[in-house]
């Protein structure tokens, strides 16, 4: 924390104001604020910010370009709570015929009162897990193709939270995802973040077995 505040280099040699040299890579970052904004700023390559709030996404783009005129930032609409929006975004990206080396699954909602998504799934679970899970599945073949053609191993990052420890007794309650009576805002969020961890672990295991 002290290094971040003072700008002193960490073990990697980077400081809080550093940017990465990824001019030959393409990245998708979900979410236009907080971690999503900072991730897009640091990558400063061919970055697509995928966000539900296009006004916030455009503000993030202009903020990054103000400090780095060479950054290549595009913004695209993505509402992770809606299956049709995830599909539309993936189709739109694949139509661009761009490579894809980095996918940062960051966007999410937190401590929401109970409500169901357009597809009839509890909103935090739908947005934080289902949307990113489906997006990853739709884009993973493109990432495999990119890794094969460039020789550069890709990265998929599911952004977690320590709140994964604050979930329902017994862990994920798959049989009660949409149960309004047992819903607790904080525990539903923790449940969705615990699922992110499990998704990351299983995805890593499968990709290693397949030697990607």
Which residues are part of the catalytic machinery?
Answer: 189
- CA neighbor of 68 nearest in space, from 33, 34, 108, 38: 38
CA angle at residue 112 from 109 to 113, to 5 degrees? Answer: 160
Q: At what angle do helices 131-150 and 185-209 cross, to 10 degrees?
A: 30
Got the DSSP string for the chain?
Answer: -HHHHHT---TTS--TT-----TT-EEEEE-SSTHHHHHHHHH-SEEEEEES-HHHHHHHHHHHHHH-TT-EEEEEE--TT-HHHHHHHHHHHHHTT----EEEE-----SPPS-B-TTSSBHHHIIIIIHHHHHHHHHHHHHHHHHHHH----EEEE---GGGGS--TTS--GGGTT-TTT--HHHHHHHHHHHHHHHHHHHHHHHHHTT-
């Amino acid at each position: 924390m002290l290094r971040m505040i003072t700008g002193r280099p960490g073990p990697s040699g980077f400081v809080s104001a550093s940017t990465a040299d990824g001019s030959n890579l393409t990245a998708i970052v979900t979410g236009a604020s907080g971690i999503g904004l900072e991730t897009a700023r640091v990558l400063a390559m061919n970055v697509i910010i995928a966000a539900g709030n296009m006004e916030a996404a455009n503000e993030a783009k202009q903020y990054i370009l103000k400090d780095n005129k060479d950054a290549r930032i595009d913004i695209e609409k993505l509402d992770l709570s809606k299956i049709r929006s995830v599909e539309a975004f993936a189709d739109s990206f694949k139509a661009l015929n761009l490579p894809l080396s980095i996918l940062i699954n960051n966007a999410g909602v937190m401590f929401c009162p109970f409500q169901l998504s357009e597809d009839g799934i509890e909103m935090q679970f739908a947005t934080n897990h289902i949307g990113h899970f489906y997006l990853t599945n739709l884009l993973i073949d493109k990432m495999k193709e990119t890794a094969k053609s460039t020789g550069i191993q890709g990265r998929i990052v599911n952004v977690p939270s320590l709140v994964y420890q604050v979930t329902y007794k017994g862990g994920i309650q798959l049989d009660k995802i949409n149960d309004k009576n047992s819903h607790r805002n904080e525990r539903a969020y923790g449940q969705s973040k615990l699922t992110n961890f499990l998704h990351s672990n299983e995805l890593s295991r499968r990709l290693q077995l397949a030697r990607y």
